Amino acid sequence: MTDEEDIYFLEDQTITLDDFPCDKGWILDFGGGGEGVIGQIKESQVIAIDRRESELLEAIENGSKALPIIMDGKELKFLDNTFHTATSFYTLMYVPEENLLSILKEFYRVLTLKGKFIIWGVNFTHPTEFDKNLIAFRLKIKLPSGKLIETGYGTRKKSQSMKQIINFAKEAGFTIITSKEEGILFQITLQK
């Protein structure tokens, strides 16, 4: 358990998720444990990978219908050119900066040509005047079904930005299709 006093809280956030079209094949969801949001929206079309079994079990309890697999994003056990779509719902904030490029390269490898990687994330910088171990925010998520999820995501990372992720994504070989920021939240669609 983490003492709330050791957490620097960003402002509370709300996100309304639209269903996103992807007719073809499996969706590979990176870090699909926890709430298992993508597995709740796209259900059995989703393969949810997470390096922690406990997080995958929690996602099932929360209503994810994804196929759960314990796997590290740094070393995907899939063949090249397998998936038309991959997703990362607030997972890159858990990835140390030194691993971002190798993970993006792995997702590039397993996507088909023109395959898309959709990333939801948050911009943050730990203020120097606070000496906390974690940075976190509470998030209300409105699913296309009307279900409301109230959760929170926290990390030991000191900063993350959409610009930083876009730079690593380009280096991994991706083209940026869309990028939008709303307050501190952002969404990027990458294409192989």
Ligand X SMILES: C[S@@+](CC[C@H](N)C(=O)[O-])C[C@H]1O[C@@H](n2cnc3c(N)ncnc32)[C@H](O)[C@@H]1O
| Contact residue for ligand X among 9, 51, 65, 142 (CB under 6 A) | 51
Least Å distance, CB 62 to ligand X, is 8
Give the C-alpha separation, 48 to 172, whole Å. 22
Candidate segments 70-78, 105-113, 163-171, 175-183, binder of ligand X by CB under 6 A: 70-78
Is-contact 62 40, C-beta < 8 A?
yes
CA angle 154, 169, 29 (to 5 degrees): 55
Contact code string over 9-48 relative to ligand X, x by CB under 6 A: ----------------------xxxxxxx-----------
91 binds ligand X (CB under 6 A): yes
Contact code string over 138-167 relative to ligand X, x by CB under 6 A: ---------------x--------------
Q: Which two tokens stand for residue 80?
A: 């090249």
- β partners of residue 149: 141
CA 115 to chain centre: 17
68 binds ligand X (CB under 6 A): no
106 binds ligand X (CB under 6 A): no
73 binds ligand X (CB under 6 A): yes
Give the C-alpha separation, 148 to 65, whole Å. 17
Of all residues in this chain, which one has the CB nearest to ligand X in the complex? 31
Least Å distance, CB 60 to ligand X, is 12
**Range list of β-strands (E), the chain:** 7-9, 13-16, 27-30, 46-50, 67-70, 83-89, 111-122, 124-125, 134-142, 148-155, 159-160, 175-182, 185-191
Q: Which is nearer to ligand X, 73 or 115 (CB)?
A: 73
Give the C-alpha separation, 141 to 87, whole Å. 16
Applying CB under 6 A, what is the total number of residues that bind ligand X?
21
| Contact residue for ligand X among 9, 13, 69, 72 (CB under 6 A) | 72
Binding stretches for ligand X (CB under 6 A): 31-37, 49-52, 55, 72-74, 89-91, 94-95, 153
